[in-house]
Structure formats: C-alpha cells, structure tokens
Amino acid sequence: MGLPVDKLVIATNENDILDRFWKTGRYEKKPARGQEAEGGLEVDGVKAHEDGVRETLSPAMDILVSSNFERLLWFLAYEFAATAGMDDEFNRTQAGQEVSAWLKDLKLKGGFGPVYMDVLNNARSSFESERVSDPQTLETIKTFYHKIGYILDPHSAVGVTAALRSMQRVAPDVPHISLSTAHPAKFAGAVELALKDEETFNFEKEVLPQEFVGLDKRVKRVTTVSNDWKEVRELIKDQVEKELQGQ
C-alpha cells in the first residue's frame, strides 16, 4: 500500500508456535503434557488441550495452526526458489512442493523444520515476534490504566506488550502502532482480574457500553440442533419462513 513500514511485530500469547518459528525456524505443535483434568490437561496450573492449545486470558489467540501462515510460507519458499535463477513456473512449482512437504510433516509428525536459513532470514526481514504470558498481559492492562486511564482488552494488551518490547530491543526511535483488536467489555474476567485492586475502578461505568447494561439478565433463546448439516438447513429455512410471515 506504500506505507513506510519497517517490520510487522507478531504478538502471541502462551500459544507461541509462531514466536518459536521466528526464533528457531521450527514449526511444532508440541502437544501439552501434564496432569489430566476434565476436558483437557493441566500444564503449570493452566488448562490445556491434548493438541497443545492452552486456554489463556486472550482466547481468540488460542490457536496453533494458522491458515494465513501457510500462505506466508508459500511466498517465503517462492522467493527462496527464485534465487536459483530459473523461470517463474519452476519457482511456483518448487514453492508448492516445499510447502506441501512441510505441511505433510506438520500433519503426520506434529511439526517441521528447521527451514532453510535463507527462508528464515527472509521471514525475519519483514517480521519479528514476541511471546506474552497471562501475567504479563494483566500487568500491561494495569500499567496503561495507571498511565493514561485507557482500558485494554487482553488481546490488545498482548499486542501492546509486544510493541513495547520491540521498541526497547530493536528500534526505540521508530514509531510503533499497535492495533486494538477488541472491546474490553467482551473480556470482563481478564479486565476485572487485572484491575481488581484499583479502588476507583468500576467495570460497569468505565467499560460496559450502555447497550450492554442488563443484557445478562434478559431472556435467553436457545435452539438445540444436532451436528447434521441437513437438519441445520431445515432449521434455517423454517426460521426464515417464520420471519417472512411476520411471526
């Protein structure tokens, strides 16, 4: 788009597969290990699933395999193939084969790598990464509330923490922009946990939009449907028909 962007900072929570890739060149799911608990495992006191995903205060970031990352891998492999001096068709074919092999290892072995150093260095030329723990997330929410009275949601707090580290480590004189990703009202548990010791903090007055006040006390309408696409289709058709009839 023509913006003078130096690098993009990848911010991960404790599900840090991308941060580990940028640090080591390995992309590994690393299944969780720990004492069994209902619905998953306990690892360091944190609930985790058998595939390795840990439940954190920033749940929208609790993933391991990202579909967008597959696209980036292809471009990295394509640019690496281009160094061989062959035509574009060869470069595209080579990139596709490389990524297919990596993803096959991810599926069968739970990971792949390390990738070629040239591929990793190319990735590092445009991106850097950080891992932010739950305690660090809470600390950032608290710090920004103290400094400027702004209340971060936990996902935005992960991004802000990563940006601050980048400024300190790499480029203190380069402006950083951290994009807020959600409203703190959606994550009351994390926000209240971070600011529970603030005597003046009032979640309903400072965070909750007026439209949300009393929402938890309203009547809930739930329709249970089986995991069958035909049944879901019929349910939707029935609901649409009722709406068209003004019911």
Provide the pLDDT for residue 41. 52
pLDDT at 247 (0 to 100): 66
**In 3D, which of 49, 94, 43 has the Cα closest to residue 73?**
94
| Residues 6 or more apart in contact with residue 211 via CB below 8 angstroms | none
Residue 165 is encoded by which pair of tokens?
A: 């580290």
What pLDDT is recorded for position 49?
65
Q: What are the tokens at 225? A: 């449907």
Structure tokens at 84: 């061989």
- Where does the chain hold its CATH 3.40.50.1100 domain(s)? 8-29+64-129
Tokens of 116: 């070629």
List, as own/partner pairs, every contact residues 176-184 make where C-beta atoms lie below 8 angstroms and the sequence separation is at least 24, other chains included. 176/9, 180/152, 180/153, 180/156, 181/60, 181/153, 181/155, 181/156, 182/60, 182/153, 182/155, 182/156, 183/153, 183/209, 184/151, 184/152, 184/153
* Residue 231 tokens, joined: 């049944």
Question: What are the residues whose beta carbons fall under 8 Å from the beta carbon of 72, sequence distance 6 or more?
Answer: 123
10-residue mean pLDDT profile of the chain (247 residues): values are 89 94 93 48 56 88 89 95 93 96 94 94 95 97 95 97 91 86 92 93 91 88 92 94 86
What is the CATH architecture assignment of 8-29+64-129? 3-Layer(aba) Sandwich (3.40)
Task: Report the distance separating Cα 101 and Cα 238, nearest Å.
Answer: 46
